[in-house]
Structures are given as C-alpha cells and as structure tokens.
C-alpha cells in the first residue's frame, strides 16, 4: 500500500516555476529519500503535501485522500519537521511542546520527556535562549511526540552536531520499526545513504530519477586515481565509459563503467608511481545521474533555439506544395494543352524540372511534380541543420562555453543530432499532413494511398541523408560561416549528378546521388523502394555519423 502518492504535481508562483510534473509514491513502512540541491523544489513539494500551499495542477494524496480536501484530517497522523523552525520566543520549551500536544488525541505526555532525554533537550529553557541547533531539537520532539504514522522531515539535521545527528538517525529508525513511514528530504547524500531504501532525485523542479539506494551504488562504476612519473597523455584514456576525468599535475582521476580489463590494457607500458581503484561515493554517482539531466537540457535548448527556423521551413515547404497543388484543377481541365507545352521542352529541361515523366491524368502523378521541389528544399533545410550542429558553436563563438561543461563532446553532439532528427520528423509530419489534406480535397477519384505514403516518405530519407552529410562536413571543416549557401551548393551538385544519370543512364553515376535512390518516377512504377539503394543509403548515413564522432572527438576546437 502507498502512503503517499504524488502525480504530475505542479506549482507556479506567478510566472516562476516551483515544481513541475513531480510524480512519486512512498510505500507504507519505508524510509523514502527525497534529495536534490537547495532550491530544487523539495520544500515546495512537501508544503503541497501538507496543504500549506495549493498546487497549480496535479494531485497529491496521503492514505488515498486528497491532501487539500482532507488536510486537517490527515495531519492528525503526520509529524512534520520543517527546514527552518520558528516558535513563540516568550514561551518555555515544555510550554511549546504541551501546546503542540494539545492538538492531538490520546497523547502520552511522558513521551515528551523521553524524547527530550534522547535529544539532550532542556525543557525549562525559554525558546529565545536556545541556539539554532537546540531549536531544531524542539522541532524533532514536537514532530514525534504524538507518535505519527507518517513522518515528514525537511532538511532535519541542520544545526545538529554529529553526535546529535546520529541520535536523531537512531530515533527515526526506531520509529520506522514501530511502523511509521518516513519521507526524508535532504541535500546531503550521506544522510540519505544511512537511512533510506529508495530515493527520488529532484532537480530544477522536476524528478530526474527514482532509484534504489543500493542500485545507485551498484552502477558498476569504479573510481581510478593514477599517479604518473612524468607527463600524462589524457587522450590515451578517451574511452567509452570514462566520465569525470580530471587532471591535477601528475595525477589523473576518472570514473569508469564497463569491463575493467579495458583500463588494465591501457595501463600497459605506462610509467605509474601509484594506482588506486575504489568505489565512488554516492555524491559522485549522483553527479553522473544529474549530468544525464544536463544532457537532456542540451536537447531542449537546441529545439528552443531552432523553433523559429523550423516554423519558417515548415511553412515554406507547405506553401510550395499548396501553390502547385491548388493549380491542379485548372491544369486538369486543360490537360492536353499543358501536356503539349511540357513535351515541347528539351528532355534535359523536363528532367531538371521534374516533368519528364509527368502524367496529369491522376492527382498522384501530378503530385510528383511539386514534390520534386519539396525534396530539394527539404534537403537544403536538413543539410543546413546538420552543418550547424558544430559550426554554429564556432560561428556564434559559444564553443568555449558549451564544450568546457562536465559532459563529453560526443554526448553533447549526440543530443544536438537528436534535436536535428526531431526537427526533421516534425517537418515531415507537417508536410505529410498538408499533402494528405490537399490530395484528399482535390482528388476527384480514388488514389493509391500506399503510393502517396511512399512518395511523401522519400522526403524523410533525403533529409536524413543530407543532415548526416552536413554533420560530416561540419566536423571536417568546423569553420563554416556561410552555412546556407554551402548547403544549397552541395544539394545542387547532387541534383545535377542525378540529372546526368537520368540522361546518360550510367548505373555507377546513379549510386552517387541520393535523389536517384528515391526517384519519384521509378517509385510510381515499382511501388516500392529499391532494396540496394536503401542499403546504400543506410550505410552512408551510418558512415557519415561515425566519421563525425571520430573526427570531432580527436580534433582541437578552433579558438575564438
């Protein structure tokens, strides 16, 4: 049974976010950790649980009852210790505790003295005479005096000396053994490690991860410390699985996850003075988990920065499609005249403008005509995005800002590539929806939906190819300040090669241009993609991406 259930809990203070979409549950009888940096949203979540604040959206329940609706009823069985404690300063400690006990039924007042003895608290002192640590002891006693079934602790050990902290931990364990459920909030991981079985990690108002404490420590990470006699070649340890690599004079530190024999192999013939392999601390493991969140921030930032450009490209492609497709009723009504006009041009001209095999009898045959231009424009868009993955950081002089962050180059580039892929998928979805609406409205008879999908999906394959080629070019050259002209030039060259192949019918030439892999006229005849071309397309995309990582991880970043 879950004592606490929080689902998509969100709290905004005006325009400022407190927490967003926080979700986790606490099982009956467990000690559940809730950790994160100061200001990450721990106290906001707890105050919402106690109905001290009202959430903007989402829900929080205790014992299956809504925290806001049944707040006063639920609080009878809740003991709460806030991070900052404030009491009536003119009162004595015993008076404050008796006053607190008066709100609960069937309180054993002898328990106050018992708890005070455990925490070494003088009950006869006035509140304003107490130090911060002793005020915290008052908070502990008043939170536990009524033997609550649920104990909520928000940064409970602040102000306590190490001896009192240990007594406090022992006290919480005792209450837990009696059946109390504990929600333990802290920014100190060693505290959570001592008490908790599971932990929710919160960062920037959102839950980054929920994990078992033992699993966090069994991530199979090892902490290496290597002390060298002379100079250290850091690039010698450019291995997958190595993180947190730091160099301090002649000592190298890093964490490694994977087959430890790979590290041993790298250490052969190395002039070492000392080697230390140990288990990483929970703090270091948490840093790795938080970095995963940082990497996702890169993806969000890339999508945020590229949204205006994406909207422009989507509207432009849809505009091209609408412009040509809306002409179809006029053209189909004067079919013979238009066909004569098209056939009067030289075959090279017809091929260049996508009308060589144009059959205006059906809407899908006509659809291939404007879609040729969609493929060209989409290729330019994708290549522009691919080149910008690395070159934009050079052009905007932000490379020294981004690539010095505690995340590997390859992980940064991976997220930037994922952002490009997401934008390509959005573009294709927008074009597909626009085309489907136009073809459906303008069609006067049945059309082959399968062929329509094949033609439209050609844009996805073309864009992925040119995006990966752009990646390779950006990794190879890096200093590219005129991205759009280069993108247009490269796409134009590949299209010219395609046209030459159409004229010369050279099979070897046909293997060079991706426009030949997804030739719309051939596609309408065969009703299928050529498996050889698909395999070649896949191989080239993988090769371009592999070379991008290979080149970029080994080359120096250009200086500003």
- Return the pLDDT at 174: 93
Question: Average pLDDT for residues 333-362, to the nearest whole number?
Answer: 56
- Return the pLDDT at 415: 84
Do both 27 and 170 map to the same domain? yes
- What CATH number is given to the structural domain containing 48? 3.40.50.300
Instruction: Choose between 302 and 479: higher pLDDT.
Output: 302
What pLDDT digit, counting tens, does each position of 105-161 carry?
888 889 999 999 999 999 999 988 999 889 999 999 999 999 999 999 988 888 888
Query: 92: which 2 tokens?
Result: 């004595």
Distance CA 245, CA 252 (A): 7
Do both 181 and 298 map to the same domain? no
Do both 292 and 275 map to the same domain? no
What pLDDT digit, counting tens, does each position of 124-138 carry?
999 889 998 899 999
Do both 149 and 242 map to the same domain? no
Instruction: Choose between 206 and 231: higher pLDDT.
Output: 206
pLDDT of 433 > 90? The answer is yes
CA 283 to chain centre: 21
pLDDT of 92 > 70? The answer is yes
Do both 266 and 292 map to the same domain? no
Q: Would you say residue 559 lies in a domain?
A: no
Q: Would you say residue 306 lies in a domain?
A: yes
User: Which H helix or E strand runs over 413?
Assistant: helix 409-442
Distance CA 242, CA 254 (A): 7
Q: Report how many domains make up the chain.
A: 3
Q: Which among 216, 242, 264 is the end of a domain?
A: 216
Q: Would you say residue 8 lies in a domain?
A: yes
Do both 291 and 256 map to the same domain? no
- Return the pLDDT at 395: 67
Question: Average pLDDT for residues 442-471, to the nearest whole number?
Answer: 88
- Return the pLDDT at 241: 81
Q: Would you say residue 230 lies in a domain?
A: yes
Q: Which among 280, 301, 320 is the end of a domain?
A: 280
Instruction: Choose between 459 and 369: higher pLDDT.
Output: 459
Band of pLDDT at residue 556, cut at 50, 70 and 90: low
Q: What is the domain extent for residue 56?
A: 2-216
pLDDT of 220 > 90? The answer is no
Do both 247 and 106 map to the same domain? no
Q: Would you say residue 332 lies in a domain?
A: yes
Q: Would you say residue 560 lies in a domain?
A: no
Edge-to-edge strand list for the sheet holding 251-257: 242-248, 251-257, 221-228, 272-278
- Lowest average pLDDT, out of 90-94, 326-330, 399-403, goes to 399-403
User: Which H helix or E strand runs over 300?
Assistant: helix 282-325
Distance CA 10, CA 45 (A): 9
What pLDDT digit, counting tens, does each position of 494-538 carry?
988 888 877 777 777 778 888 888 887 777 778 888 888 899 999
Distance CA 470, CA 476 (A): 10
Do both 235 and 370 map to the same domain? no
Q: Would you say residue 267 lies in a domain?
A: yes
- Return the pLDDT at 560: 43
Do both 212 and 226 map to the same domain? no
Do both 411 and 501 map to the same domain? yes
pLDDT of 298 > 80? The answer is no
**Cβ atoms of residues 93 and 121 within 8 Å:** yes
User: Which H helix or E strand runs over 164?
Assistant: helix 162-177
Residues 6+ away with beta carbon under 8 Å from 2: 25, 26, 27, 28
Question: Average pLDDT for residues 536-543, to the nearest whole number?
Answer: 93
What pLDDT digit, counting tens, does each position of 308-343 carry?
889 999 999 999 888 888 887 777 666 566 556 555
- Return the pLDDT at 286: 64
This prediction has a pTM of 0.56
Q: How far apart are the first and last CA of the chain?
A: 58
Supply the mean pLDDT for the chain. Answer: 83
Share of the chain above pLDDT 90, in %: 30
**Cβ atoms of residues 203 and 290 within 8 Å:** yes
Most confident of 35-49, 400-414, 501-515: 35-49
Do both 79 and 68 map to the same domain? yes
Question: Average pLDDT for residues 536-546, to the nearest whole number?
Answer: 93
| β partners of residue 12 | 17
Question: Average pLDDT for residues 38-56, to the nearest whole number?
Answer: 89
Q: Which among 236, 259, 280 is the end of a domain?
A: 280
Do both 322 and 387 map to the same domain? yes
Q: Would you say residue 374 lies in a domain?
A: yes
- What CATH number is given to the structural domain containing 256? 3.30.70
- Return the pLDDT at 467: 93
- Lowest average pLDDT, out of 143-157, 230-244, 290-304, 332-346, goes to 332-346
């Amino acid at each position: 049974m879950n004592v606490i259930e929080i689902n998509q809990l969100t709290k905004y203070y005006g325009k400022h976010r407190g927490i967003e979409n926080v979700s986790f549950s606490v099982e009956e009888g467990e000690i559940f950790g809730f950790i994160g940096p100061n200001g990450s949203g721990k106290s906001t979540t707890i105050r919402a649980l106690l109905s001290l604040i009202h959430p903007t959206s989402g829900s929080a329940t205790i014992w299956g009852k809504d925290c806001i609706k049944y707040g006063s009823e639920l609080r009878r069985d809740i003991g709460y210790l806030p991070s900052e404690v404030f009491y009536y300063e003119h009162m004595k400690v015993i008076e404050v505790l008796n006053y607190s006990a008066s709100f609960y039924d069937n309180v054993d007042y002898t328990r106050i003295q018992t708890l005070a003895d455990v925490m070494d608290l003088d009950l006869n002192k006035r509140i304003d005479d107490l130090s911060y640590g002793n005020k915290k002891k008052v908070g502990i006693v008043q939170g536990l005096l009524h033997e609550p079934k649920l104990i909520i602790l928000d940064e409970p050990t602040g102000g306590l000396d190490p001896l009192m902290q240990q007594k406090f931990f022992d006290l919480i364990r005792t209450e837990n053994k009696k059946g109390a459920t504990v929600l333990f909030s802290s920014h100190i991981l060693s505290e959570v490690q001592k008490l908790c079985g599971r932990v929710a990690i919160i960062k920037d108002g959102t839950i980054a991860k929920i994990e078992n404490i033992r699993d966090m420590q069994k991530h199979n990470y090892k902490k290496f410390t290597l002390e060298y006699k002379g100079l250290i070649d850091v690039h010698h340890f450019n291995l997958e699985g190595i993180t947190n690599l730091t160099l301090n004079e002649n000592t190298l530190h890093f964490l490694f996850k994977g087959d430890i024999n790979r590290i041993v192999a790298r250490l052969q013939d190395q002039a070492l003075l000392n080697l230390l392999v140990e288990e990483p601390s929970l703090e270091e493991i948490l840093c790795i988990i938080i970095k995963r969140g940082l990497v996702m921030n890169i993806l969000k930032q890339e999508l945020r920065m590229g949204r205006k450009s994406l909207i422009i490209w989507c509207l432009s492609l849809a505009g091209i499609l609408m412009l040509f497709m809306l002409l179809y009723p006029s053209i189909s009504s004067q079919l013979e005249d238009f066909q004569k006009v098209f056939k009067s041009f030289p075959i090279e001209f017809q091929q260049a403008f996508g009308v060589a095999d144009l059959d205006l009898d059906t809407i899908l045959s006509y659809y291939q005509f404007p879609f040729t231009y969609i493929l060209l424009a989409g290729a330019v868009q994708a290549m522009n995005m691919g080149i910008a993955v690395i070159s934009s950081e050079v052009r905007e002089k932000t490379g020294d800002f981004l690539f010095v962050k505690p995340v590997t180059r390859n992980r940064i580039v991976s997220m930037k590539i994922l952002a490009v892929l997401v934008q390509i998928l959005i573009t294709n979805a927008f074009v597909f929806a626009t085309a489907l609406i136009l073809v459906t409205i303008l069609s006067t008879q049945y059309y082959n939906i399968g062929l329509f999908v094949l033609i439209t999906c050609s844009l996805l394959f073309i864009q992925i190819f040119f995006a990966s080629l752009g990646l390779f070019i950006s990794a190879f050259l890096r200093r590219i300040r005129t991205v759009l002209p280069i993108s247009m030039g490269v796409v134009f060259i590949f299209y010219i090669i395609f046209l030459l192949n159409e004229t010369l019918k050279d099979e070897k030439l046909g293997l060079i241009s991706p426009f030949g892999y997804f030739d719309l006229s051939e596609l309408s005849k065969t009703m299928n993609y050529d498996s050889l071309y698909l395999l070649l397309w896949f191989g080239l995309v993988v090769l371009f991406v592999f070379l991008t990582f290979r080149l970029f991880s080994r080359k120096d970043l250009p200086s500003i």
